[in-house]
Each structure stands twice: as C-alpha cells, then as structure tokens.
C-alpha cells in the first residue's frame, strides 16, 4: 500500500493532477450555488455535470492537438500551424459537403471525416517535408504555413461561416444516454487519443525514435536512424491530430469559418509546455499534454466562474507557462545534481 502511494506521488503526472484538483476545489468553494429549476435543488455553479462536461469538452479540442504538438516538441521542433490546419480542414470539409451533399446522411459523414483527417495529414506532411527538405528551422516553416493555410481557408470560404451537415453534428453531440445537454463524445475522443498517443510514444519503436532524436540528434544520426523520415512522420501526426480536433470541434459547434481556432496554437503549445514537454526536445508525453490542456482550460474557467476581468486571462496563462518552464528547468538541474552525486559515490 505504501509502495503504491509512493509510486503515485513520484509519478510524472502527480504534480499536474494535484494542481488540477486544488484548482477544482477552489472553484467549487468560491463559485457559489444556484437553484436547479428542474429538480428544485441547490447546485454548485462549478461542481455539476453540465459545467464539468463543458470544461472537458473545451479541453478536448486543445488536448487532441497538444498530443500531436508534444510529439513535435519531443523531436526538438515546434508547430505553429495547428490552428490554421484546424480551420482549413473545417472550411474545406464544409464547402465540399455543401456543394456535393447538401442533404447530409451517411455518405456526408464518411466524406466529412475523410476530409478532416486527410487534409490534416496532408498539411502535416507539407510541414514535415519543408522542414526536412529545406533545412529551415521549423519555427520559420510553420510560421509561414500558419499564415498560408489560414489564407487558403479565407480565400476558399470567402470569409463566410459555413454550416456543417446535421449528420456530423449529431454524431459529436450524441448524449450516449447521459442525459439532455450532456455530450461526452469530444471527451471520449480526447481520452482515446491520449491513450493512443501514450502507447505510441512509450511502447512503439517509432515513439522511442522520436525521443532519441530530441535527446541527441547527432547520436541518432550515427546510430543509423532515418531522421528525415521520422521528422516527416512527426509533423504528419501533428497535422492529423489537428484534423481530428477539427472534426470534434467544428462538428460540435455546427459551423466552419476561416477564423476558427485563431490563437489555438498558443494554447496547444502552452498545454504541452505546462504538461512538462521540454522545448529543447527529448521530454514529454501524451498524458501530461492532456493534463496541461485541462489545467489551461480550468484557468480560463476560473476567470469566468469567479467573475474576474477576462482581460487578465492571457496574463495568467502566460505566467503559468513561465512558471512551468522554470520549474521544469529546476527539476532538471536537481536531477542532474543527484545523478552526479550518485556517480561520485560509485
């Protein structure tokens, strides 16, 4: 029993989980109460099924993209284009379905999902090929594609908000028997993607290769790893996760616009960094990325729930990122010191 508790407290995710629980307790205590008109009972403004489900839904769109972005960061790169891939996937899908399948139905769902995932994957491949082929820093490449992809979405959609077929919205907003106005599908997608991302990074050869490249690129090259192919695959996965997030988010809200996901890349990178991903590469995991996204959304939720000025949201999130990076560096230094001391003893 004591060993299990100790291993839980020493787990990489324990700090994030404790912070999330603490913030949840603070929100529960200070959020206040209201009368539920359906039951006549007092309900906490935060600790209720509707608010918690909406918080998980909001976090799911960031978290899915953060899993792909974390893989890029582990490899030593960065992807600023995920928000634009989200918008381009959504507007293209909505335009195609509006022109070819206005009535919706099963064919519309199949075409829509294919377009979401296919366009996300294609945009990610473009990023990866340019990063590897042009040998330009990924910050510059993805900064350019961030503008280019959103520009294509703007031109093709003519800045219109395009409705998504009801058949797609019905899938994402199904209640699955949980009750009226509770839509768990985005949360389930987040959980599934987190599990798949963790398995891929921790249990597969390709995942270990990503860590190897981020940890020491020269050693990886001399060991015979095909760096170009691995990096292209990493950016392709980041684009794919952006397409999956677009499917969940745009189908949930029912319309697509070229302005969708504006600024999401910052929240996605913040989720990865707060989750412990090192911008120098070689460190990070999918579970922490998801927990980081949940923490970011809880910070936003606390500002609204506690009736703070929403203009302070960016300041608070920015400070959280700085604190997370500083703590990560301090932890790395302490770990290096402990390793040096143990090596000196032997």
Its pTM stands at 0.90
**What CATH fold (topology level) applies to the domain 49-301?**
ABC transporter involved in vitamin B12 uptake, BtuC (1.10.3470)
Q: Write the burial class of residue 345 (CB in 10 Å: 0-12 exposed, 13-18 middle, 19+ buried).
A: exposed
Name which of 1-15, 202-216, 313-327 the model is least confident about.
1-15
Q: What would the mean pLDDT of 187-193 be, rounded to a whole number?
A: 96
Per-position DSSP letters for 47-71, written without gaps between them: SSHHHHHHHHHHHHHHHHHHHHHHH
- Of all residues in the chain, the percent with pLDDT exceeding 70 is 93
Domain residue ranges in the chain? 49-301
pLDDT score recorded for residue 104: 57
Please choose, from the candidates 8, 66, 33, 29, the residue with its C-alpha nearest in 3D space to the C-alpha of residue 295: 66
Question: Does the pLDDT at position 167 exceed 70?
Answer: yes
pLDDT score recorded for residue 120: 96
Mean pLDDT comparison of 231-240, 314-323, 328-337, highest-scoring range: 231-240
Q: Write the burial class of residue 129 (CB in 10 Å: 0-12 exposed, 13-18 middle, 19+ buried).
A: middle
Question: Does the pLDDT at position 3 exceed 70?
Answer: no
Of 68 and 100, the structure prediction assigns the larger pLDDT to: 68
Please choose, from the candidates 132, 120, 43, 29, the residue with its C-alpha nearest in 3D space to the C-alpha of residue 81: 120
Question: Does the pLDDT at position 11 exceed 60?
Answer: no
Question: Does the pLDDT at position 81 exceed 90?
Answer: yes
pLDDT score recorded for residue 252: 94
pLDDT score recorded for residue 114: 92
Roughly how many angstroms between the first and final C-alpha of the chain, as a whole number?
32
Per-position DSSP letters for 84-139, written without gaps between them: HHHHHHHHHHHHHHHHH-TT-SHHHHHHHHHHHHHHHHHHHHHHHHHHHHH---HH
Token pair 């940890």: residue: 215
CA dist., res. 87 & res. 79, Å (int)? 15
Q: What is the pLDDT of residues 101-145, one digit of tens each?
A: 655 567 788 888 999 999 999 999 999 999 999 999 999 999 999
3-state class of 255 per DSSP? Answer: strand
């Amino acid at each position: 029993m004591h060993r299990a508790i100790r291993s839980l407290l020493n787990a990489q995710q324990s700090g994030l989980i404790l912070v999330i629980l603490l913030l949840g307790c603070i929100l529960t205590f200070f959020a206040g109460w209201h009368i539920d008109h359906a039951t006549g009972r007092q309900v906490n403004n935060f600790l209720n099924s509707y608010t918690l489900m909406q918080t998980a839904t909001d976090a799911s769109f960031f978290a899915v993209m953060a899993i792909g972005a974390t893989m890029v960061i582990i490899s030593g790169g960065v992807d600023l284009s995920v928000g634009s891939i989200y918008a381009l996937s959504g507007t293209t899908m909505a335009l195609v379905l509006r022109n070819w399948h206005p009535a919706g139905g099963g064919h519309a769902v199949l075409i829509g999902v294919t377009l979401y995932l296919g366009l996300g994957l294609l945009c990610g491949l473009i990023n990866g090929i340019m990063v590897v082929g042009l040998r330009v820093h990924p910050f510059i490449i993805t900064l350019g594609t961030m503008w280019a992809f959103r520009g294509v979405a703007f031109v093709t959609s003519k800045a219109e908000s395009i409705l998504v077929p009801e058949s797609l919205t019905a899938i994402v907003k199904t209640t699955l028997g949980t009750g009226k106005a509770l839509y768990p599908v985005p949360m389930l997608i987040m959980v599934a993607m987190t599990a798949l991302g963790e398995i891929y990074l921790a249990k597969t050869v390709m995942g270990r290769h990503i860590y190897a490249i981020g940890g020491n690129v020269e050693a990886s090259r001399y060991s015979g790893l095909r760096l170009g192919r691995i990096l292209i695959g990493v950016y392709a996965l980041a684009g794919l996760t952006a397409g999956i997030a677009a499917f969940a988010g745009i189908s949930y809200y029912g319309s697509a616009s070229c302005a969708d996901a504006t600024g999401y890349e910052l929240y996605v990178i913040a989720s990865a960094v707060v989750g412990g991903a090192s911008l120098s590469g070689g460190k990070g995991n999918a579970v922490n990325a998801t927990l980081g996204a949940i923490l970011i959304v809880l910070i936003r939720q606390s500002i609204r729930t506690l009736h703070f000025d929403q203009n302070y949201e960016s300041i608070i999130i920015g400070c959280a990122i700085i604190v997370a990076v500083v703590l990560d560096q301090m932890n790395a230094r302490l770990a290096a010191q402990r390793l040096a001391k143990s090596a000196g003893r032997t």
